[in-house]
Amino acid sequence: MIITLTPNPSLDRTIELRAPLARGEVQRAGSSHEEPGGKGVNIVRALVASDVPSLAILPGDGLDPVLVALRAAGVPHLGMAIGATIRSNIALTENDGTTTKVNVPGPVLSAAQQSELIELVLHKAEGADWLVLAGSLPPGVPVDFYAAITRELRSRFGAHAPKVAVDSSGAPLAAAVTAGPDLIKPNAEELAELTGLPDPDSLEGDPVLVARAAQRLVATGVGAVLATLGSKGAVLVTKDGAWLAQTPPMVAVSTVGAGDSALAGFLLSTIAGDTAPESLRQAAAHGAAAASLPGSTVPALHQTRPGDVTLTLLNTHPKEDVQ
């Protein structure tokens, strides 16, 4: 069982433009898609598509459009009433796959609601394989929210606690790292920010540099780093090694949710008993399959092609250190 927490869910509308985005102009859309979203929600949607037992936990009233859509789609979820409407986000996609997102803050969660949400997560997480803490934090929630949940989970369940994966950014991710999660999934920009590197573009083009940056995080107590690099592939770093996964060249239809699908692919592979490199292969295959689909559509396992993914063991030692 994989449990996800999305404290700042959204109703995601993806608009596919017929021409490149032009600021200040009137443009016609080719099509639009509307899906219940937020990183943890997307991960569960992808897991359910592959028949993996999972549950999405999120704040939201029973009649909120996001929860109504989840019920209609048959996505297992558990909402916590907050008396406010879940936010709506917009993504604009161009023909070459370029995506522009407009995300709004979301409703404020009071201290009491935060405590209730944590207790709900801890109750449902008992006996799970993974707990995924995903996405941004809504207004009113302290940046160490994910770190606090991780520590409380391990304090309560000890050796029987589920593994913790964190997919966030900025201060919440930096704080979460201090609690030593079992896995984090940054992109190049998030990894650069987290490790203090000035140029995320250089990271995306240099998998060895990505791996070295990730090794710094593993050395501090993070179990593994799954760094997604868009069309350049994905890098996995654990205490046992570093690997690069690359898929054949493709034309992306929409990159919305591709990272979430990549994480879903990694997780479903781990609970199937696959090795870390094989789980990386499935992550890359899931991410590529998601990018080939419109809007925030998620792929099922049978739609992925892990056999097409090339795995490379990365040598992260400087040349002068190699004997």
pLDDT, mean of residues 52-80: 95
Instruction: Report d(CA 178, CA 159) in Å as an integer.
Output: 19
Q: In this predicted structure, what is the pLDDT of residue 35? A: 84
Closest CA to 167 of 111, 227, 112: 227
Q: In this predicted structure, what is the pLDDT of residue 204? A: 66
Percent of the chain with pLDDT strictly greater than 70: 96
- DSSP assignment letter at 135: S
- Which CATH code of 3.40.630.30, 3.40.50.970, 3.20.20.80, 3.40.1190.20 fits the domain covering 2-321? 3.40.1190.20
| CB burial string 49-60: b at 16+ within 10 A, e below | bbebebbbbbbb
Instruction: Report d(CA 255, CA 188) in Å as an integer.
Output: 15
- List all residues 6 or more positions away from 55 whose beta carbon is below 8 Å from its beta carbon: 1, 2, 3, 4, 44, 76, 77, 78, 124
Q: In this predicted structure, what is the pLDDT of residue 321? A: 39
- Digit-coded pLDDT (tens) for 47-64: 999 999 999 999 999 999
- Digit-coded pLDDT (tens) for 218-238: 999 999 999 999 888 999 999
Are the C-beta atoms of 189 and 201 separated by less than 8 Å?
A: no
Q: In this predicted structure, what is the pLDDT of residue 95? A: 81
Q: With cut-offs at 50, 70 and 90, classify the pLDDT of residue 80.
A: very high
Q: With cut-offs at 50, 70 and 90, classify the pLDDT of residue 109.
A: very high
Q: With cut-offs at 50, 70 and 90, classify the pLDDT of residue 99.
A: confident
Residue ranges per structural domain of the chain: 2-321
Q: In this predicted structure, what is the pLDDT of residue 30? A: 86
Q: In this predicted structure, what is the pLDDT of residue 94? A: 87
Closest CA to 36 of 58, 53, 16: 58
Strand-pair category, 163-167 with 183-184: parallel
> Does residue 21 carry a pLDDT above 70?
yes
> Does residue 140 carry a pLDDT above 80?
yes
- DSSP assignment letter at 223: S
Q: In this predicted structure, what is the pLDDT of residue 206? A: 87
Q: In this predicted structure, what is the pLDDT of residue 322? A: 33
Are the C-beta atoms of 292 and 268 separated by less than 8 Å?
A: no
- Digit-coded pLDDT (tens) for 172-212: 999 999 999 999 999 999 999 998 887 667 666 789 999 99
Q: In this predicted structure, what is the pLDDT of residue 227? A: 96
> Does residue 256 carry a pLDDT above 80?
no
CA distances (Å), 243 to each of 193, 233, 261, 310, 312, in order? 21, 11, 19, 10, 5
Closest CA to 127 of 164, 159, 160: 160
Q: With cut-offs at 50, 70 and 90, classify the pLDDT of residue 132.
A: very high
- Amino acid identity for residue 154 in this structure: R
Q: With cut-offs at 50, 70 and 90, classify the pLDDT of residue 323.
A: very low
Instruction: Report d(CA 69, CA 189) in Å as an integer.
Output: 31
